[in-house]
Amino acid sequence: MILWSGLPKEAMEDPFKPPDEPCRVRCLHCGREYSSSQIAWRTVGGQGFWCCPMEGCDGAGFNFDIFPIDSDFWDDEEEEDQDDQDDQDDTAEEEDL
């Protein structure tokens, strides 16, 4: 569970804040999975934002770069990966001819 106490008002009002009820999420940038309660509030140059907690990752925002595992977003991405694989298979078959 996220400890909301001590966070600035802007963190609480941010549209990309993590959900009140933690869920399993995956970051679009680094591909890592973790609990949404680990999404971190960071301030850089006076600007605050919710971000992936993994070091070196620049994924930011729940439902922006960080999506629940059971989200339709990941279903769409898996379909695109399958389509890309099918296209590669078709190209390989054409080259064999």
pTM of structure: 0.71
Is it the case that residue 92 has pLDDT exceeding 80?
no
- Which residues lie below 8 Å from residue 65, measured CB to CB, with a gap of 6+? 27, 28, 29, 52, 59
- For 53-64, write each residue's pLDDT tens digit: 999 999 999 999
Q: Angle at CA 20, nearest 5°, toward 44 and 35? A: 70
Banded pLDDT at 15 (limits 50, 70, 90): very high
Banded pLDDT at 95 (limits 50, 70, 90): low
Q: Mean pLDDT across the stretch 68-86?
A: 68
Task: Return the amino acid letter for 33.
Answer: E
